[in-house]
Chain A
Amino acid sequence: MDIPFTVKLRDDTTLYNAKVGIWLFLGSEVMLFGALFSSYILLRVGAPPGTWPRGLLNVPIGAFNTIVLIVSSVTVVMSWASLKLGNLGKFRFYQAITLLCALSFLTIKSFEYRDKFTHYEVWKTDGARMTGHVEGGPYFWSTQTLKDKKLDHIVFHPDPHHYTEPVKPHAGAAAEHEGHAAITIPVAEIARLSAFVPAHSTYFAIYFTLTALHGLHVFGGALVIGYLWGPGAKLWKTDPERFTNRIEISGLFWHFVDLVWIFLFPVLYLL
């Protein structure tokens, strides 16, 4: 038995069923990301003045990732248009670029994450706070780690500015890597130590929630596109119109994922 309305349009919706389905799904996705964006805005406007971190993200890297996703959206549409013109070879070429873009995005994002996991903030017992790197670049250290390792001091490479100081946002991010001369901090003087992980602050909790959820969507979308590029493409031989519709559906999802990033980039990196 054939599944109805995979190609033929329904009289009531004037669409094929998969398109109705994907838009219902994307509607639920809008609610999910909408709730998280609203949370971000409420947390940010509710934060005491001068406490919300700024300039901790690398704007050039974020901008480059934005370009990568815009290019991938263009190639998704080109691959769909190639199928409309009956050219499977060009479809495969353009979708290969899309997959490459997805892989690039995730790789760059993982480097950004790694940078955060080795970047620390120290709250000293005298009230002073500083950000920087612990000698040796360890991952995920916390106050508990210092106790577990029974350390009596750490060697710290502080950043030139703390994020609560009024400096230009991305100048602060660039300056992070310049660092100052190493200092030795006795563990007895450390009230709290945290890497830039979700437990560090509300800011990083919402940052990692939003970007990791988006990253998972990129990964999921790439899996679907990869399947349709490889084994799923055999449908082209038996039912080309249905296959073209599948590509349109995957393209709609991909565009949604990219559109989310178009909003995420300015909200997280620039504002």
Chain B
Amino acid sequence: MSLKAFHIVFVIASILLAFGFGAWSYFDYRDQGATADLVYAIASTLAGVILVIYFKAVLRKLKNISYL
């Protein structure tokens, strides 16, 4: 597995973490009503969206590099 392939795996894990943390923060906000939780939820979801855009850009830019 090349660095490109491992990077793709890593970015997918990061995307899942970002959206997961966003959901965790949102549920905390719903239960407790702390503004900080809402900020974390929004920031984390935004980070997830940025990572998805980055993921697409990586696939496009490194398309000539082997997965092995």
The 0/1 profile, CB within 8 Å of B marked 1, for residues 57-73 of chain A is 00110010011001001
A63-B21, A67-B47, A248-B2 known; A171-B40 Cβ under 8 A: no
A77-B58, A262-B14 known; A270-B24 Cβ under 8 A: yes
Give CA–CA (A37, B54) in the complex, Å.
30
The 0/1 profile, CB within 8 Å of B marked 1, for residues 249-270 of chain A is 0011001101100100110001
Are A255 and B6 neighbours in the complex by a CB distance under 8 Å? yes
Are B40 and A248 neighbours in the complex by a CB distance under 8 Å? no
Chain B residues with Cβ below 8 Å from A19 are 2
Chain A residues with Cβ below 8 Å from B31 are 168
Q: Is the interface of A mostly helix, strand, loop or mixed?
A: helix
Are B10 and A259 neighbours in the complex by a CB distance under 8 Å? yes
Are A77 and B3 neighbours in the complex by a CB distance under 8 Å? yes
Residue of B nearest to A250 (CB): B3
A60-B40, A81-B62 known; A262-B10 Cβ under 8 A: yes
The 0/1 profile, CB within 8 Å of A marked 1, for residues 1-32 of chain B is 11110110110011001001100100010011
State the total of A-B contacts with C-beta under 8 angstroms: 63
Chain B residues with Cβ below 8 Å from A80 are 3
Are B47 and A266 neighbours in the complex by a CB distance under 8 Å? no
Are B40 and A14 neighbours in the complex by a CB distance under 8 Å? no
Residues of A146-196 at the interface with B, using a CB-CB cut-off of 8 Å, are 168, 170-171, 174
Are B17 and A73 neighbours in the complex by a CB distance under 8 Å? no
Query: Which residue of the partner chain, among B3, B24, B40, B62, contacts A252 with CB atoms under 8 Å?
Result: B3
The 0/1 profile, CB within 8 Å of B marked 1, for residues 200-215 of chain A is 0000000000000000
Task: Looking at the assembled complex, report how far the CB atom of A175 sits from the nearest CB atom of chain B, in whole angstroms.
Answer: 11
Determine if B49 is an interface residue (Cβ-Cβ < 8 Å): no
Are A14 and B17 neighbours in the complex by a CB distance under 8 Å? no
Are B17 and A262 neighbours in the complex by a CB distance under 8 Å? yes
Query: Which residue of the partner chain, among A60, A84, A171, A252, contacts B32 with CB atoms under 8 Å?
Result: A171
Chain B residues with Cβ below 8 Å from A63 are 21, 40, 44
Given A251-B3, A255-B6, A266-B21, 14 other A-B residues pairs in contact with their CB atoms under 8 A:
A60-B40, A63-B44, A67-B47, A70-B51, A77-B3, A81-B65, A171-B32, A174-B36, A251-B7, A252-B1, A255-B3, A259-B10, A262-B14, A266-B20
Give me 21 A-to-B residue pairs in the complex whose CB atoms sit less than 8 angstroms apart, sorted by A's number: A14-B68, A63-B40, A66-B17, A70-B14, A70-B51, A80-B3, A81-B61, A168-B28, A168-B34, A171-B34, A248-B3, A252-B6, A255-B10, A259-B9, A259-B10, A262-B10, A262-B14, A262-B17, A266-B17, A266-B24, A270-B24
Chain B residues within 8 Å of A, Cβ to Cβ: 1-4, 6-7, 9-10, 13-14, 17, 20-21, 24, 28, 31-32, 34, 36, 40, 44, 47, 51, 54, 58, 61-62, 65, 68
Chain A residues within 8 Å of B, Cβ to Cβ: 14-15, 19, 23, 59-60, 63, 66-67, 70, 73-74, 76-77, 80-81, 84, 168, 170-171, 174, 248, 251-252, 255-256, 258-259, 262, 265-266, 270
